[in-house]
Amino acid sequence: MSLLVVGSVALDTVETPFGKTSEALGGSSVYISVAASYFVQPVRLVGVVGGDFPKEHIEFLESRKIDLDGLQIIENGKTFRWGGKYHYDLNVRDTLFTHLNVFEKFNPIIPDRYKNSSYICLGNIDPVLQLQVLNQINKPRLVVGDTMNYWIETKPKELAETMKHMDVLIVNDSEARLLTNEPNLIKAAKKIISMGPHSVIVKKGEHGALLVTDDTIFSAPAYPLENIFDPTGAGDSFAGGFIGWLARTEDLSPNNLKRAVIYGSTLASFCVEKFSIENLRDLNYLKIHDRFLSFMELSHFDDKK
């Protein structure tokens, strides 16, 4: 059940119609690890920060029993910073700035004692680095990977190579369409499966998510939130909840993959209710399970006898 997470660690400055946050803890590996930490502990994190990375963030991650032996600290460098602005339609965001800083030369070196990790979550980084991570792992049981438009457009061949080594690809609907040049999402998902992963999850924001495997299609609803404060990190929280549940239960059956999608959706729904990672700071398993049951209430119906 050992879970390894690789991705960015960032300080995010985010503006939404509901407020603003500055230099908040963020980055894909942070959201994934924190979300997963409600299911398994410790979570092994591989990432990079500069000497300016606030000590309080390290302390918080440690409080979630996240193993930071894989977090490289470049003392004379600066941490990756990202700035974005969301509009009333929270599906649209503008990137205001991207200062890669130490993340620009990120070289994910896996500590020896992480190399036996069974569950691997590859946050959205260069597919070349994703593959480099996998080449350092002995024999993972499950590899879950994320990607984005930028890599689909600039490194299609490298991404295709890396995808051959993924078991589950997590993308959003526009990424699925871009990756396959196929407007129909079901067809797009099946095309992705023919490219390597045995399963694909298509996240559809306010419309929920689809899980497609060789022989299953599962449609997960979105949690009906009336107030979404900040969508930042929703996708990564999804990935963390998803792989966290699988690593906890060590059950890769179709029925358990469905539950994992709901746990992913659950963590994503908590994430967007407050700014940054705030709402993921003090969850507990009971709260999470309660919302899991709400998802059931939301989508289940019976056949009239």
Number of neighbouring beta carbons within 10 Å of residue 255: 10
Q: Does 89 bind its own copies (CB under 8 A)?
A: yes
Q: Site for its own copies (CB under 8 A): which residue of 6, 262, 280, 283?
A: 262
Binding region for its own copies (CB under 8 A) out of 25-33, 149-157, 223-231, 268-276 = 223-231
Q: Which stretch binds its own copies (CB under 8 A): 45-53, 75-83, 93-101, 292-300?
A: 292-300
Closer to its own copies by Cβ: residue 97 or 301? 301
DSSP state of 164: T
Q: Tell me how far apart the alpha carbons of residues 253 and 215 are, in angstroms, rounded to a whole number.
A: 12
Judged by CB under 8 A, the chain residues 193 through 212 that form the site for its own copies are 204, 206-208, 210
Span of 7-15, 31-39, 158-166, 181-189 interacting with its own copies by CB under 8 A: 181-189
Decide whether 157 or 304 has the Cβ nearer to its own copies: 304
Pick the binder of its own copies from 99, 221, 252, 273 (CB under 8 A): 221
CA distance linking residue 67 with residue 255, whole number of Å: 30
Q: Phi/psi of residue 260, each to 5°?
A: -65, -40
Q: Which is nearer to its own copies, 115 or 289 (CB)?
A: 289
Minimum CB–partner distance for residue 39 and its own copies (Å): 12
In sequence order, the β-bridge partners of residue 74 are: 50
Q: Specify whether the CB–CB gap between 108 and 72 falls below 8 A.
A: no
Give whole-number Cα distances, 256 to 215, 217, 278, in Å.
Answer: 14, 13, 28
The SS3 call for residue 15 is: strand
Q: Kindly state the smallest distance separating residue 142's Cβ from its own copies, in Å.
A: 17
Closest contact distance (angstroms) between CB of 133 and its own copies is: 29
Contact yes or no for 276/26 (Cβ under 8 A):
yes
Angle (nearest 5°) at CA 3 between 134 and 288:
135
Residue in 97, 286, 303, 305 binding its own copies, rule: CB under 8 A = 303
- Residue 183 binding its own copies, by CB under 8 A: yes
Q: Are the beta carbons of 145 and 134 closer than 8 angstroms? A: no
Number of residues that bind its own copies (CB under 8 A): 42
For residues 295 and 257, what is the distance between their CA atoms, to the nearest angstrom?
15
Given the rule CB under 8 A, which of 41-49, 59-67, 125-133, 250-258 is the region that contacts its own copies? 250-258
Q: Quote the CA–CA distance of 166 and 197 in Å, as a whole number.
A: 5
Contacting positions for its own copies (CB under 8 A): 88-89, 183-187, 190, 204, 206-208, 210, 217-222, 224-228, 249, 251, 255-256, 258-259, 261-262, 292-293, 296, 298-304
